[in-house]
Amino acid sequence: MTTPSPPALTEPISSAADLARFWAALMGDGGFGRRTLWLVLLDDEGRPVPTVVPVDDVPEVPSAADVDSFGQFFDHLDGYGTPVLLLSRPGPPAVRAEDRQWGRALAGLAPRWPVHLATEDAAGRCVVTPLG
């Protein structure tokens, strides 16, 4: 028996608000123990493909080499879908300078959609914030 996915995980994404709902549904509740970059591809109709790629333990601040490596990886995804990206990290939801650095660096690699940040609030609920 399979458990159906919440609608936010399967519906087409056509706006920044849709994307934020998707990330919130995907991340669920609970904290983040490490800094992770999440990649999902959207098909031609804006539907998320059923594969999520987490890249764990990314550095606090992106280096030029990090951005170059991700760019090369994204080049190999050409034709498979449109990438959407989220950075998650432990700690409070206030956007930090290093979060913005990641947002700016990644926005150049996947310019169609905003990069998001996932953290948790004081009650442990997931908070998704655009980094644009």
pLDDT tens per residue, range 47-96: 999 999 999 999 999 999 999 999 999 899 888 999 999 999 999 999 99
Judging by beta carbons within 10 Å of its beta carbon (0-12, 13-18, 19+), is residue 107 exposed, middle or buried?
middle
Q: Is 57 left (phi over 0), alpha (psi -120 to 50) or beta?
A: left
108 to 21, 114, 115, 123, 124: CA distances (angstroms): 22, 10, 10, 33, 31
Structural domain boundaries enclosing 80: 12-130
Is position 1 within any domain? Answer: no
Residue 51 CA to residue 60 CA, distance in Å, equals 25
Residue 78 pLDDT: 85
Residue 4 lies in a domain: no
pLDDT recorded at residue 64: 95
Quick check: is 63 in a domain? yes
pLDDT tens for each residue of 11-58: 999 999 999 999 999 998 867 989 999 999 999 999 999 999 999 999
Q: How many domains does the chain have?
A: 1
| 29 within domain boundaries | yes
DSSP classification of residue 60: S
User: Does residue 111 form part of some domain?
Assistant: yes
Query: Is residue 6 domain-resident?
Result: no
pLDDT per position as a tens digit, 101-132: 999 999 988 889 999 999 998 778 888 999 86
- CATH number of 92's domain: 3.40.140
Residue 79 inside a domain? The answer is yes
